[in-house]
Amino acid sequence: MNHKEIERWYRLRNIIKACKVLVVVLLASCLIWLVASGFTRPKPDDSYRSDSAESGGMRIEHFSYSAPGPRPWELQADTAVVSQSLDRVQLTRPTVLYPAGAGKEFVLKAKTGELDKNSQRVTARGDVRVKYGDFLFKTDELHYAGKTKTAETSSPVTLKGPDLHATGKGLTCPIDDNEIIIHQDVRCTIFNVKWMGSGGGLPF
């Protein structure tokens, strides 16, 4: 083997060593990048994410909806799951707000509920409480029709006001008409009533 062949052999061996070192460095760099990306990858935003496990729709935190119209009613909820068709919404801790006439406000709260956007109807379930002016009524389930501004239920209800306590079954409340109607099995206790003279009646 002459001098040129020996020199060529040493050069080739150095190139092979350099290639091996380069491969090791590249592999180490890739490993470090993978580990680092695993720690720094951003977590998904829980306020707006797919929730296919429940309904195939999307889950929204702090949901808010305002119905159209000259006197719009508002719907708020802790969480909402919107269907894929975007017309039905499952609600957790919903609240319905409507500015009724004569300076009164209709406020509905419940544990769960559902909004049908096509019919503008809200169904509230579980410890349903409605504050309407000076009156508070409670029931297990209540339907609020946004188009007619009417709340109604066929379930047992209790109604409390400044001077009365009533119970019964079934209720209709046309809000703009300033009425609360209990339909069946009505029992009512009235307080602080001043009776009129003979032949008189209640001062209503």
- Cα 161 to Cα 175: distance, rounded to the nearest angstrom: 16
Q: What CATH code would you report for 48-190?
A: 2.60.450.10
Would you state the pLDDT for residue 199?
56
Q: What tens digit of pLDDT does each residue of 50-85 get?
A: 333 444 578 899 998 887 777 778 889 999 998 888
Burial of 169 (0-12, 13-18, 19+ CB in 10 A): middle
Selected residue with higher pLDDT from 156 and 120 = 156
Q: CB–CB of 75/98 below 8 Å?
A: no
Which whole number is the average pLDDT over 198-202?
A: 53
Q: CB–CB of 128/141 below 8 Å?
A: yes
Selected residue with higher pLDDT from 109 and 202 = 109
Would you state the pLDDT for residue 14?
57
Q: Where are the domains of the chain?
A: 1-41, 48-190
Selected residue with higher pLDDT from 56 and 157 = 157
> For the chain, what is the mean pLDDT?
76
